[in-house]
Amino acid sequence: MYNNDNKKISRKEQALQTRRKLFNAGIRLFGAGDIDDVRIKDICDEAGVSVGIFYHYFSSKEDLMMEAYRFFDEEIVSRARRKVYSSNLEALYFIIGYQCGNYDGLFDREADAQILEIMFHYEAGELLLWRHVLRIQLKLGGISVIESDRPMNVYIHELIKCALCSGELVIDRPAEEITETVLRISRGVMFDWAVRGGSYKAYEYALRDVKGYLET
């Protein structure tokens, strides 16, 4: 007997698989060099699909890149929420460090080797893909970075509110204002790091500057 529901499920799964193929292919190519040198056709050849199929799922290679950005943002926050901390400030400094490129302790070098390599060429110490993302953010106006419902921003705001309520933070400013200042500091460090070709450890400077603001 023909089951129309099974057909719908099969098509949905096939669509998800195709989108995932394009996503992974794009990330591999972006992480290996300059995004400007990657053509839509290159991504499609890598994924084994037609150019027409690409445009069914993504409007541009920048669109694909920003989906990667959102995916990794959610992945970092999800993993960070599962960790146990001694204080809200410890959790805050932890997530700021990871926001700025320090993935030790959040990802396992062996178990997560594939995602680290695909997303950031981590073993090469280059974080090329992250620099591409920052360039695209500037090109697109940086809207997704400053959205209040971005998982990273929501989590940081929650931690700051809790730190204020517990007395860990003693700053005569509302949580929203403190959150915005902390995010401006970390974003500023990351963009500076990107334009300088990733020549220093961004998370060390971001943590130093954030702590300087919160603890003085």
Residue 95, token pair as written in the block: 């997530």
Query: Per-residue pLDDT for 200 more than 90?
Result: no
Task: Report the pLDDT value the prediction gives residue 117, as an integer from 0 to 100.
Answer: 55
- Taking the alpha carbons at both ends of the chain, their separation in whole angstroms is 72
Tens digits of per-residue pLDDT, 163-172?
A: 999 999 999 9
Task: Report the pLDDT value the prediction gives residue 179, as an integer from 0 to 100.
Answer: 95
Task: Report the pLDDT value the prediction gives residue 123, as an integer from 0 to 100.
Answer: 42
Q: What angle do CA 31, 32, 33 make, to 5 degrees?
A: 100
Least confident of 60-64, 134-138, 147-151, 180-184: 134-138
Tens digits of per-residue pLDDT, 108-128?
A: 666 655 555 555 544 444 455
Q: 182 φ, ψ to 5°?
A: -60, -45
Mean pLDDT of 188-213: 87
> How far out from the chain centre does Cα 159 lie?
19
Using alpha carbons, select from 125, 123, 96, 98 the residue that is nearest to residue 200.
Answer: 125
Q: What angle do CA 209, 188, 156 make, to 5 degrees?
A: 70
pTM for this predicted structure? 0.73
> How far out from the chain centre does Cα 34 lie?
18
Domains and CATH numbers, the chain: 1-58 (1.10.10.60), 61-214 (1.10.357)
Q: Which residue has the higher pLDDT, 59 or 67?
A: 59
